[in-house]
Amino acid sequence: MTEGRLIVAIDGPSGTGKSSVSKEVARRLGVGYLDTGAMYRAVAWWAQHQGIDLTDQVAVAHAAETIPLVMGTNPDDPRVSVDDIPIDQQIRTSEISEVVSAVATNLAVRSTMKKRQRQLINQIAEATGGVVAEGRDITTVVAPFADARILMTASEEVRMGRRSKELAVDAEATRAQIVERDAKDSTVAQFLTAADGVITIDTSDLDFEESVAAVLGAIEASTSAIAGH
């Protein structure tokens, strides 16, 4: 661990359980939590709120640079607010899910978010003794220096089933939100296969508690390996 701080990076596509598992892992470790995907959703909401066309890449990039975004880091209550407006529910709507890739695939936005996410990871780790950061390129781009780097995966069928139940929508709507978005986002982020040094955890046949245990085991194995060097 770096200077007594534990940094855990978790990547993976939608429906693998990475958000709920990451929050629970952060709770059990007593550290902070960062949902980097929510940051892209917040930029999408903010841009639309300001009347910006999401296909205007320059305007969206400027919105990402200037967004007055505050990310909650308590895994029990990870609030997201912009300009003092709580937007937790707004950024989880199907409308935002359908357009967020336009923001997430904007390379200028990704550059801005990478810097901001690294700053947040270090600030959270400094304040709480550690952080579990989850997203799509945390293990490779944002925090390749993390003490534990994990890629959570699951079969497409399982991921669609979990997300359709979570969103209470039909399978076709879920396919559009999951499979098509993953395909778009994978053009700019590596989250479908593990990079060197990243531990893969397939949750297809794991329940929530088993997934949490698998991640905690991977963290322990990674930190033990670091301590052994």
Annotated binding-site residue numbers for ATP? 12-20
List all residues 6 or more positions away from 85 whose beta carbon is below 8 Å from its beta carbon: none
Question: Which residues contribute to the annotated binding site?
Answer: 12-20
What single string gives the DSSP state of each residue in the chain?
-BTTBEEEEEE--TTSSHHHHHHHHHHHHT-EEEEHHHHHHHHHHHHHHTT--TT-HHHHHHHHHH--EEE---TT---EEETTEE-TTGGGSHHHHHHHHHHHT-HHHHHHHHHHHHHHHHHHHHHHSEEEEEESSIIIII-TT-SEEEEEE--HHHHHHHHHHHHT--HHHHHIIIIIHHHHHTTT---SSPPTTPEEEE-TT--HHHHHHHHHHHHHHHHHHHHH-
